[in-house]
Amino acid sequence: MNDQQPSSRATEAESQPAAGDDPVPWPQWRQRYVWTTDRSPTQAPHGVPVHRSFADLESAYDLFPPDGFRELEFCSNRYRRAWASSRERIILTYCESDLTYLQFDHDAAYRAEYARTVRFYLDQLQ
């Protein structure tokens, strides 16, 4: 593997901020993984690309997104988690080692997808 290429697998040390360290900002955190992008209309909600990666972790609880992301706790368990950053207009999900993020250009599209994500996970609880 090229030394400049980020690893697609995060080690436990990479996934957790070291004691006393500042939280990792979004661009640096994202560079820990190799992402593929899907721009097909059937996959891209609101016209934004869907970015996907893989995190080889023991549990969803081993993944710590960067500062500014709020966890959607009602959908979290050992196998899946979801976070949102209204400041960055990003929705980040982890499900059984698959990472997906969506970044929106407009607040209206972000809010619509956030509401859809919440409904999806609440429906899973019933």
Do 42 and 15 form a contact (C-beta atoms < 8 A)? no
Block means of pLDDT (10 residues each) for the chain, 126 residues, are: 37 35 67 84 76 81 82 81 91 89 91 90 80
pLDDT at 17: 33
Q: If DSSP codes are grouped into helix, strand and coil, which group holds residue 100?
A: strand
**Three-state DSSP state, 56:** coil
Residues in the chain: 126
User: pTM of the entire structure?
Assistant: 0.72
Structure confidence at residue 41 (pLDDT): 65
